[in-house]
Structure 1
Amino acid sequence: MWHLLKNGLQRLLPQPCLLCGQTNSRSLCGECERSLPRLDQHRWRCAQCSIPLASDAPLCGHCVRQPPAFSQCCIPYEYSHPLDFLIHQFKYRRQLSSGKQLAQLLLQHCQQATRPDFVVPVPMHWRKRWQRGFNQSELLAYPVAHGLKLPVVNALQRRQHGHSQKGLSRRERQGNLRRAFEITPKYRPLLKGAHVALIDDVVTTTATARCLSELLIKAGAARVDVWALARTPDH
């Protein structure tokens, strides 16, 4: 009851927009939401990893040369201003209100996606989770799963801390991820023949998505899709 009352009050009471600060009934005003850099503004995108393309082609060169284990990506935005500000505030400034809004944006987009059996958040090593205070992929996964009436299954775990992926090339990221992840043993039977949606905040080089989707497929998953908020353009 208190949860419903709280949500009702949040809808009725004025609150500042997370981007422009103007008071309105939503945490992101309509004008600022329309200013977010949508991926569909690009005429051509890779059908598998969603990266914007310079010409009309079904797949990008990387997906042609090294096909990923995941089937497709469901990603609404490009990782650029002002979306990158909201993600930074969420991940590094612990602004959970931004995280809540980002989850709603992802939910809106994923409602049109092929329905999976369950969602799996990208895991975080316990040490990094302790430092940050939360796993941003989990905080995105639960509201999205709740809105779609899907279970969240923590079928993956990170066993090695490793180095940050930020600023690394595709080759460096892939090397950094080797042997870093594993299937959570108790969920292995659940993966047999399952359609899985892997949830993350940003897809940069697809190194993490490739590594984890390959693990899931090898464990018996029939299909893996990647759901994320943003895709970093290929520079």
Structure 2
Amino acid sequence: MLSALMRQLQQLWHLLLPTPCLWCSLPVQRFDRQLCTACQQTLPQLPLALCHYNLLWLPQVARGLTKPGFDELLSVCYYRQPYQHWLQRWKFARDYSAGDLLQQQFAAVLQQYQQYKHTLPQAIVYVPMHSRKLRQRGFNQAELLAGVAARQLQLPILPLLQRRQYHTAQVGLTRKQRQRNLKTAFSLPKTTMLPERIALVDDVVTTGATANEICRLLRRHGARHISLWTVAVTLFD
């Protein structure tokens, strides 16, 4: 009853004061969306069906990842505009409208993935954030995206991964610097036994260093097939 009332109030508010589109700034058509219909239709898209919903099949993506420790890669888009702008706004400026938009796009791609795939992961884990950094930012975007995936696919989240070391942002570091930063950065409880099929969620994959380090840990605890799900993937030029 309360949720229905809130939805009606949101619709009424939208009629009185429509939300501006996060791309073109014109009013959106739906109260629960961040983009107008025209902008949604013109967003850049990845050829997911062509590569069987595994971006590792795309040479331009695979060349940027050295020996990926994951078996599948699913992303909404390349790390380019406008997604790059929205991700930075969400993470560093606490723009929750941009965060809502990215979560909506992530859910839409996962819905397509669900319709295409015959076998889904058995559980979801996400890239953890050090407690100090979590206090500074106020949220872990990977955890929020994992929640979207869990609701969309009706899968459990296993909040087991911990980040033991505090590091500054990985942005701008070389592959070797990222790998050095991540040595022994993550941990799992020693007695953890994971399902064989796991999905790992993060916001962006660049060199794959973070995901690879976590995947090595997940495999030591029983994971056999690991899917990496992100909002964006950096394109190798």
TM-score normalised according to structure 2 size? 0.84
Equivalent residue for 2:19? 15
Equivalent residue for 1:94? 94
Equivalent residue for 1:56? none
Shift of 1:50: 6.1
Shift of 1:144: 2.2
Equivalent residue for 2:201? 199
TM-score normalised according to structure 1 size? 0.85
| Distance in 1 of aligned mates of 2:3 and 2:63 | 48
Structure 1 residues 10 and 79, CA, compared in 2 at 3 Å: closer, same or farther? Answer: farther
Residue 54 of structure 2 contacts residue 72 of structure 2 at CA under 8 Å; is this kept in 1? yes
Residue 45 of structure 1 contacts residue 51 of structure 1 at CA under 8 Å; is this kept in 2? no
Question: Is it true that 1:29 corresponds to 2:36 in the alignment?
Answer: yes
Residue 123 of structure 1 contacts residue 135 of structure 1 at CA under 8 Å; is this kept in 2? yes
| Distance in 1 of aligned mates of 2:235 and 2:152 | 29
Tell me the SS of whatever aligns to 2:202: strand
Tell me the SS of whatever aligns to 1:172: helix
Offset from partner CA, 1:199-226 (integer Å, 9 cap, x none): 1111111111111111101111121100
| Distance in 2 of aligned mates of 1:46 and 1:194 | 20
Size of the alignment, in residue pairs? 224
Structure 1 residues 36 and 48, CA, compared in 2 at 3 Å: closer, same or farther? Answer: closer
Equivalent residue for 2:213? 211
Shift of 1:196: 0.9
Using the TM superposition, name which of 16-25 and 5-14 deviates more.
5-14
Shift of 1:179: 0.6
Offset from partner CA, 1:71-115 (integer Å, 9 cap, x none): 110112011111111111111111222212211211111221541
Residue 54 of structure 2 contacts residue 74 of structure 2 at CA under 8 Å; is this kept in 1? no
More RCO (CA 8 Å, sep 6+): 2
Tell me the SS of whatever aligns to 2:147: helix
| Distance in 2 of aligned mates of 1:40 and 1:180 | 34
Tell me the SS of whatever aligns to 2:125: strand
Equivalent residue for 2:151? 146
Tell me the SS of whatever aligns to 1:23: coil
Q: CA RMSD in A?
A: 2.5
| Distance in 2 of aligned mates of 1:174 and 1:38 | 30
**5+ unaligned residues in a row in structure 2: which ranges?**
none
Letter in 2 for 1:22: L
Equivalent residue for 1:157? 162
Offset from partner CA, 1:125-178 (integer Å, 9 cap, x none): 001111101101111111221122111111211000023211011111111100
| Distance in 2 of aligned mates of 1:30 and 1:164 | 35
Equivalent residue for 2:135? 130
| Distance in 2 of aligned mates of 1:134 and 1:96 | 11
| Distance in 1 of aligned mates of 2:63 and 2:136 | 37
Residue 49 of structure 1 contacts residue 72 of structure 1 at CA under 8 Å; is this kept in 2? yes
Residue 78 of structure 1 contacts residue 231 of structure 1 at CA under 8 Å; is this kept in 2? yes
**5+ unaligned residues in a row in structure 1: which ranges?**
54-58
Question: Is it true that 1:167 corresponds to 2:169 in the alignment?
Answer: no
| Distance in 1 of aligned mates of 2:204 and 2:2 | 33
Identity percentage over the alignment? Answer: 38
